Amino acid sequence: MITRRAMIASAVAAGAMSSPRAWAQAGQSLAPSTVYDVAIIGAGAAGIAAARALAGAGARVIVLEARGRPGGRIVTDSQTLGLPFDVGASYIHNAPINPITALAAQQGVTVIPSDRESLALRANSRNEPRSVVNRYVAADQRLMRRSERIARSGNDQPFSAVPRDIYERRFVDLHCATDIAADADRVSVLDIASAGATDDRFPIGGFGTMMMRAATGLPVNGGAKVGHAAA
C-alpha cells in the first residue's frame, strides 16, 4: 500500500524507544492529593504540547491518558518487523515550517526526505513490479494537477469525483482511508489542493518514539479513563 505525498516505506532505522510500561508506571506514581491548575485529557501530540507549554510557564499540570502509552494515534511498533515501524502518523508534513521538525532537532533525531525512487508496493505477499508502482505515482500526479485546476475555479467538490481510471480510484480510496480517515466523498478537493506537494520527511527511529520522549518528565497518569468533565 502507498499513500499520497509520503508514499515511502515507513520502516526506519532502529532507535531506542522508551517503554510504554515504564512510562505508565511513572505517571501512576503521582500523588493523588496534589492540587493542579490544569488537567489535560489525552496524551496525544496536542496534549503533550499543551502540557509542555503550561509546565514551562509554571502551571501545575496533570495529563490524564486512558492508554498505557503517550502519543494517541502516533505509535511506533518496534516488535512486529524487528525494526521501528510507524502504525499511525509516520512523516513530518511540510517539514521546513512544521514545529515537529524543531522537536526532532531538540531530541537529536535525524530526519530523512521522502524519496519516490525508493517506493515499494506490496500485494499478495510479494512486491509489485516497478511499472505498477509508476502507474500509481503517475495517478497521484494527475490527481493533484486536476485537483489544483478545480480549486482555482472555486468550484469545490468531493475528492471522489476527481478520479478517472482504476489507478486513480484506488489511490484516492487508499489515501483518504490511511491519511485522512474519511471516505473520499466526504473529502474536499479544495483541502486536497491546499496540501500540494511539500517537503515531507521521516524521523529515524519512528514518530511514536519522538512522542514517547516528548512525554518524558511530564506529570502524566496512564490508565486514567475520563468519563465526565465538569464545566
pLDDT tens-digit readout, 117-174: 777 888 888 889 999 999 998 999 999 999 999 999 988 999 999 999 999 999 999 8
Which are the contacts of 4, defined by CB distance < 8 A and separation ≥ 6?
A: 140, 143, 144, 171, 175, 179
Kindly report the average pLDDT of the chain as a whole number.
83
pLDDT band at 107 (very low <50, low <70, confident <90, very high): very high
Strand 85-86, strand 201-203: pairing: unpaired
Q: Residue 108: enclosing H or E segment and its boundaries? A: none
Least confident window among 7-21, 38-52, 176-190: 7-21
192, 157 contact by CB (below 8 A): no
Where do the CATH 3.50.50.60 domains begin and end in the chain? 14-114+203-224
Short-list 72, 85, 66, CA closest to 15: 85
Does 199 have pLDDT greater than 70?
yes
Question: Residue 208 — very low, low, confident or very high, per pLDDT cuts 50/70/90?
Answer: very high
Q: Under CATH, to which class is 14-114+203-224 assigned?
A: alpha beta
Task: Report which residue type is found at 191.
Answer: D
Nearest-5° Cα angle at 148, 145 to 150: 110
Residue 68 CB-density burial (10 A; 0-12 exposed, 13-18 middle, 19+ buried):
middle
